[in-house]
Amino acid sequence: MSKNPTYASIVLGGGCFWCLEAFYQLLRGVAGVAPGYAGGTTKNPTYDQVCSGIGNHTQVVRVEYDQFVISLPTILEFFWAIHDPTTLDRQNHDVGPQYRSAVYYVTENDKKTVYSSLESARKLWNNPIITEILPLDEFFEAESYHKNYYLNNPEKAYCQVIINPKLVEIRNKYAALI
């Protein structure tokens, strides 16, 4: 994490961290996105452990952003819109507790902002939002091959079939933020 005093961070889970990373890398004011794991019980979990349910971690991204360029409410508005926060342990074809919707906040002010954004987001969905909202205990950065996965592997089937169509939709819908 940067030492820049205008930067802050939030940790978000909304399905596969490859997707979230690719989406948040689009936003103006986002200084960095790191895939990783949060919310579980195992120290330094591996991808294989998380995918097999060991430690009950969530696949997440740590979004570091410049508060003078993009606000936390905007980052959260984007979060509620780019995944389905009403499904338990699932985002499209990705199924399992590691894919749950979750927000891990860093400060008490962030907690207030998250709950305020949740109230606004409820108007967007017909079903109840079941996103976990918890203080960030610890963030474990994912293995290096997950970093910039979409940028480094655009030809891979998952990127072509899952990420690309969503990126097109997001670029069109959120052009003002990119």
What's the rounded Cα separation, in Å, for the pair 172 and 178? 10
Give Cα 40 distance to the centre of its chain: 16
- Residue 2: the pLDDT is 66
> Domain for residue 105, yes or no?
yes
**Alpha-helix runs per DSSP H in the chain:** 17-24, 47-51, 72-82, 108-121, 149-152, 157-158, 164-173
> Domain for residue 171, yes or no?
yes
- Residue 89: the pLDDT is 92
- Residue 3: the pLDDT is 75
Yes or no: say if 137 and 131 are a contact pair by the CB < 8 Å rule. Answer: no
> Domain for residue 89, yes or no?
yes
- Residue 100: the pLDDT is 96
> Domain for residue 1, yes or no?
no
- Each residue's pLDDT tens digit, 96-120: 899 999 999 999 999 999 999 999 9
> Domain for residue 126, yes or no?
yes
Catalytic residues: 16
What's the rounded Cα separation, in Å, for the pair 10 and 71? 11
What's the rounded Cα separation, in Å, for the pair 172 and 150? 19
- Residue 62: the pLDDT is 98
- Residue 92: the pLDDT is 82
> Domain for residue 2, yes or no?
no
CATH of the domain at 151: 3.30.1060.10
Per the structure, the complete domain to which residue 138 belongs is given by 7-177
Give the H or E element holding residue 90.
Answer: strand 90-91
> Domain for residue 153, yes or no?
yes
Query: Could you give the number of structural domains in the chain?
Result: 1
> Domain for residue 78, yes or no?
yes
Residue spans of the chain under pLDDT 50: none
* φ and ψ of 82, to 5 deg: -95, 0
